[in-house]
Structure 1
């Protein structure tokens, strides 16, 4: 009995010690929990006040380029052939135009295929291409510093840009619209006053929103893929750029829709270092070929049929 009593006293003492410890933290109440806001994409900047659109340069018809004239040789072309590959600047976040296949890791898209056709005419091999990944704001500097031979990255031909680089003839015609969440109540550019709008830095789309709707609040990011993330995180009310790019974003999210009419006319060109006229004429020769032999339509149908039936390639415009 003494042993049993002693054991019971020891158990009672231990139980008393156990019950005297402070209780653990209470379970979180999901109705009162506080969640941190997701961070903005790296490199994002917000305009806190309207910024006036920059003055533009008048150069006549900026889309007029150098006539091909059957050129196949020249100092720039010789250097590219000696290197053995064409260096092309583009990005991997413009769905439908240039994007990385999530399964294979290979770059695909409309702009990628256009670049491959130029490589084919240079080497007889569409795979003799080296890609340099660029943000929109880096395109002109990459050409000026000879980091790429060409830039094929949804680049609108403008007089301002032609002061720094040369362009091929236009190879794709498009126009700017607005992308929003279904049921947002936004029906176009007029509804973006006092709304947050995402644009990529260094684009004509950024300038166009400032001109057409100066009361919009702009979130500027490095790539259009960053705009999609910001939209999905509820950090912007809209994205505005060419409807061809918006279609690629909308294809990745069924809750998004393109609204409103086009409020600009854009013509994409292949960017080339100023003074490399032999390369300009050669690229225009390739563009002439793919217009004539049906290649342009085949590339369109492969990547851009979501925009509707092929409108056909834009006609070439030459300055000489």
Structure 2
């Protein structure tokens, strides 16, 4: 392990634990096989690792990992606390035959679990991530804090103070992970349902005790909201009205009202003339809907139902042409 300033080769035996309380940091270059990994609050994304590996191979590792020194039976070892995607990227390059070391900033002692957790949160939350990725990290932090401090001592307000985030943001993150079905989370990750709209569905039945997406009130409602193109405020108004009516929504995926609206806005041109503004809008609507149903457990139930075939017929095109248009837009059927 080489100190960047002194270019000194350090073995685990040479790393000494400090006698003072103050944490000192030093930059090193190390071999990945000499390291331990701390439990991470963020799942490893293989696509992010691949992108980092390409970047490091081209211009080097610009941002160091963060680590500390831990005592083990075989001596003192460096542990990677934050920056594990960079660790795996460097490891991938080494396995591909490149001669590269990992850049890591190391504390001169073993850090407490609370300090490790705080560093991981600071490292991850400063990155630009999608709302759903942010939610999963916050939820992971929530679970780790409950393990560390006890369930009774960890509240939404506690996390809000710790992270400097609003109580609403913390609450929504926990709802997203714990209150929504995996299928709803997938719809958000695929970009067909907005995160803030999805969180509104958390109070509904998520179908966890049922065998199909179609038995989930959350999924059925999400498909309707997507079909209508509702934003968060529109979705909230609809759900509030529905809640007051105290009855389940049973309108089919492609209702008469939806098609009446499509035709009123000139959607008859949509598939035939994609160069027009109306055509692009309608095509996007079809793409969003087909992407939605393709993510369900059994897409054949709705993908090309009688209602869809009838609607496509109203557009005066064949089903084959309709499928070809969708595939040209990147929708896998």
Is the TM-score greater than 0.5?
Answer: no
Give TM class, smaller chain. under 0.3
Of structures 1 and 2, the one with the larger relative CO (CA 8 A, separation 6+) is 1
Where is the strand percentage greater, Structure 1 or Structure 2?
Answer: 1
Q: Which has the higher helix share?
A: 2
Give the structure-1-normalised TM-score: 0.23
